[in-house]
């Protein structure tokens, strides 16, 4: 099959879905790869690097869409991109079918078999294809680096000839994939790291990474877990306790990284305006939930603002794209694993097996049928 990867057209998108390395691996499965000229430029892959890996380079996006049997992308396609794919072809990209209903209907109508990388089931066997986790890991790491860039002090404590420097105190709210990556990065830089999550089972993971789990003084520690390891909304009493604890911590923390999300809802507001006002000037908040409305009252998506009392609030929504080389190589690996499962004979022939839990779960449109939402996976 011909696997094609276009240049991404969205603003602030620097990633690419195919790298020279992943193309070499795909060739071993019997596929021939093609990219649009400049597709890898912003991730550090030149057209010549692709050519050396045996990839064809075409100069026109329309040509790429017309000659490819499978199009691999990062962002959901534009309606005109989807339109230029003929019936029976396959598209693999982030798609967010719940939020992109008209696009999903278009894929069904066009008969384009559509695999949404954001719908890969979060079961052990599918971890190698879990692009959401790959990107969340980068976002968590980069959030700390971004915080460091905006913080005028060391993370680690030092004893210098001039005197003692205290370590920075970092609070991470939400310890899913991004939060754990942020905790790992902050502790490795030498900060004192505190972390909170509504799911008590993450306390052990937080502590094993050298951070302190923030316990609430709550008669019955609520288990905020819902299905599949995701969080459920907190009760009003629990939320009050949580906010009271954050209010207590606000004057002493230097950096707050918020990552709290609840599936299908706006991000919960957890770092309120009065907490920002209580922080020391020069403190930094990085809000990884900015795209879903933000965990902090002051967050403005895609902006860096400074509060009246000198606290920097960062609401960028493109952290993986800010590390495009790393993000592209991991995403291209996730895609390559997906294509390996779709090519069981390693003979360049696609077998779209709808009895396979992982392929079924990620397929949102198949042979002109709507296949979203998927049934729950049989295996965990």
Q: Which residues are catalytic?
A: 122, 127, 130, 133, 230
Cβ of residue 150: shortest distance to ligand NAD, in angstroms? 22
CA 99 to CA 301: how far, in whole Å?
A: 18
Question: Which long-range contacts link 128-131 to residues 24+ away (Cβ below 8 Å)?
Answer: 128/333, 128/334, 128/337, 129/334, 129/335, 129/337, 129/338, 129/341, 129/358, 129/362, 130/334, 131/94, 131/330, 131/331, 131/334, 131/335
Nearest residue to ligand NAD on Cβ basis: 176
Stretch that binds ligand NAD, among 19-27, 89-97, 122-130, 318-326 (CB under 6 A): 122-130
CB-CB contact of 212 with 193 (8 Å): yes
Residue with Cβ nearer ligand NAD (160 or 227): 227
Cα–Cα distance list, 163 to 151, 156, 288 (Å): 20, 14, 35
Cα–Cα distance list, 279 to 143, 155, 246, 276, 313 (Å): 19, 17, 11, 5, 12
Q: Does 234 bind ligand NAD (CB under 6 A)?
A: yes
Cβ of residue 175: shortest distance to ligand NAD, in angstroms? 5
Contacting residue, 262, 290, 311, 332, with ligand NAD by CB under 6 A: 262
Name residue, tokens 């004057």.
251
Number of residues that bind ligand NAD (CB under 6 A): 29
Cβ of residue 176: shortest distance to ligand NAD, in angstroms? 2
Q: Does 6 bind ligand NAD (CB under 6 A)?
A: no
Name residue, tokens 């066997």.
125
Q: Does 173 bind ligand NAD (CB under 6 A)?
A: yes
Q: Does 133 bind ligand NAD (CB under 6 A)?
A: yes
CA 380 to CA 376: how far, in whole Å?
A: 10
CA 353 to CA 278: how far, in whole Å?
A: 55
96's tokens: 């967010």
- Residues 183-212, mask of contacts with ligand NAD (x by CB under 6 A): -------------xxxx-------------
Contacting residue, 176, 184, 294, 320, with ligand NAD by CB under 6 A: 176
Residue with Cβ nearer ligand NAD (3 or 136): 136
Q: Does 104 bind ligand NAD (CB under 6 A)?
A: no
Q: Report the run of H or E that residue 313 belongs to, with start and end.
A: strand 312-314
The residues binding ligand NAD (CB under 6 A) are: 122-124, 127, 130, 133, 136, 173-179, 196-199, 229-231, 234, 259-263, 268, 270
């Amino acid at each position: 099959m011909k696997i094609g990867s276009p240049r991404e057209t969205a603003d602030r998108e620097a990633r690419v879905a195919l790298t020279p390395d992943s193309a070499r691996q795909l060739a071993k499965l019997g596929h021939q790869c093609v990219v649009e000229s400049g597709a890898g430029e912003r991730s550090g892959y030149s057209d010549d690097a692709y050519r050396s890996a045996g990839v064809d380079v075409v100069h026109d996006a329309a040509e790429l869409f017309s000659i490819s049997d499978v199009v691999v992308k990062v962002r959901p396609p534009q309606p005109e991109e989807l339109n230029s794919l003929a019936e029976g072809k396959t598209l693999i990209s982030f798609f967010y079918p719940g939020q992109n209903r008209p696009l999903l209907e278009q894929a069904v109508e066009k008969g384009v078999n559509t695999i949404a990388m954001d719908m890969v089931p979060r079961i052990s066997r599918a971890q190698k294809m879990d692009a959401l986790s790959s990107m969340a890991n980068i976002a968590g790491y980069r959030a700390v680096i971004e915080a460091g860039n905006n913080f005028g002090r060391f993370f680690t404590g030092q004893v210098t000839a001039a005197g003692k420097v205290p370590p920075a105190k970092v609070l991470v709210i939400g310890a899913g994939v991004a939060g754990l990556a942020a905790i790992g990065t902050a502790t490795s830089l030498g900060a004192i790291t505190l972390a909170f999550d509504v799911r008590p089972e993450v306390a052990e993971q937080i502590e094993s990474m050298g951070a302190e789990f923030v316990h609430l003084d709550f008669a019955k520690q609520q288990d905020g877990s819902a299905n599949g390891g995701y969080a459920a909304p907190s009760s009003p009493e629990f939320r009050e306790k949580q906010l009271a604890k954050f209010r207590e911590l606000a004057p002493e923390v230097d950096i707050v990284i918020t990552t709290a999300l609840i599936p299908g809802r706006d991000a919960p507001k957890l770092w309120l305006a009065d907490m920002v006002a209580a922080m020391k000037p020069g403190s930094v908040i990085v809000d990884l939930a900015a795209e879903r409305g933000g965990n902090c009252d002051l967050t403005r998506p895609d902006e860096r603002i400074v509060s009246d009392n000198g606290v920097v609030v960062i609401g960028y929504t493109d952290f993986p794209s800010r590390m495009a080389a790393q993000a592209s190589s991991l995403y291209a690996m996730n895609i390559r694993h997906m294509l390996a499962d779709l090519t069981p004979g390693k003979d360049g022939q696609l077998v779209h097996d709808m009895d396979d839990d992982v392929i079924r779960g990620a397929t949102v449109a198949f042979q002109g049928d709507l296949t979203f939402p998927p049934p729950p996976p049989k295996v965990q």
